[in-house]
Amino acid sequence: MKYKFNILLSISLLLITGLIAFTPKQNVSNDIFITYIVDLKSQDLKLYWKNDKGEIINSFENLKKHVESKKQTLLFAMNAGMYKRDYSPQGLFIEEQKIISPLDTSSGGGNFYLKPNGVFYITTDNVAKVCSTTDFVNNGKVKYATQSGPMLIINGAIHPEFKQGSKNLNIRNGVGILSNNKIIFAMSKSEINFYDFATYFKSLGCKNALYLDGFVSRVYLPEKNWVQTDGNFGVMIGVTKLKSE
């Protein structure tokens, strides 16, 4: 009996090991991301590029000083997309309903032009959206917008150009819209490929998500003891509250 029991135990262990080995990876661990969820019904999110003097803000340290001068506290900041050598926005940038940089529908090399690329925007009704560039329409009610690329998730599907197991690894940050219409911002703490990064947003239930940038990416999030104030950026995302709150 003991001999038969050992054989059965050995077979069971082999079957379990095999199942683990051949079970496909469904989700990417949340431990490798720094995330922040924004509810526009109760939080104040803006896109920043220049200060009141017309100077490019450039870093989270400068952004922090900028909002503090307006009696606000910076709760969260993240770089909001790609930029040119002079730190001007690459592609669309809308600030307070004013088009600062036009929508870029041209083709080219690099991540920005890995079609479909897309737009993250906030309406005057405080509704956040992520959509492909070809689907974006400015009806005059877009308060803030930034364009980047590629899209990570398009109508629930991972970008068709992404390859599982790709060796194209980098720090990456992006934005998605959750099923409850809240915004999820995420940055990988270590290098990751596009497929796994997109998989993370899909696992959260995002129907649409947009890649913002790569190795230059930073996050300022004191509540999670993640404070990166260095870097040189173009447009930045900032969430603030009044100091009296």
Report the distance separating Cα 193 and Cα 171, nearest Å: 9
Containing domain of residue 123, as a range?
A: 28-242
Which tokens go with 152? 């990570």
**Reported pTM:** 0.87
* Model pLDDT for residues 173-190, shown as the tens digit of each residue: 999 999 999 999 999 999
Better pLDDT: 13 or 145: 145
Predicted pLDDT of residue 172? 98
User: Which residues are 231's β-sheet partners?
Assistant: none
User: Does 20 map to a domain?
Assistant: no
Question: What does the mean pLDDT of the chain come to?
Answer: 90
Distance CA 10, CA 212 (A): 49
Instruction: Report the pLDDT value the prediction gives residue 37, as an integer from 0 to 100.
Output: 98
Which tens digits make up the pLDDT trace of 219-232? 999 999 999 988 89
Q: What is the Cα–Cα distance from 73 to 66, expressed in whole angstroms?
A: 10
Does residue 223 lie within any of the structural domains? Answer: yes
Answer whether residue 140 is part of any domain: yes
Q: Is residue 59 part of a domain?
A: yes
Give a yes or no: residue 7 inside a domain. no
Residue 10 covered by a domain: no
Read off the pLDDT of residues 65-96 as tens digits, 9 standing for 90 and up: 999 999 999 999 999 999 999 999 999 999 99
How many domains, in total, are found in the chain? 1
Q: What are phi and psi of 50, to 5 degrees?
A: -120, 155
Residue 180 is classified by DSSP as T
* pLDDT of 245: 54
Sheet with 219-221: strands ordered across: 44-48, 236-242, 72-79, 219-221, 226-227
Residue 93 in domain: yes
> Does 22 map to a domain?
no
17-64 pLDDT, tens digit each: 333 333 333 344 568 999 999 999 999 999 999 999 999 999 999 999
Q: Coil, strand, or helix at residue 171?
A: coil
Q: Report pLDDT for 26.
A: 37
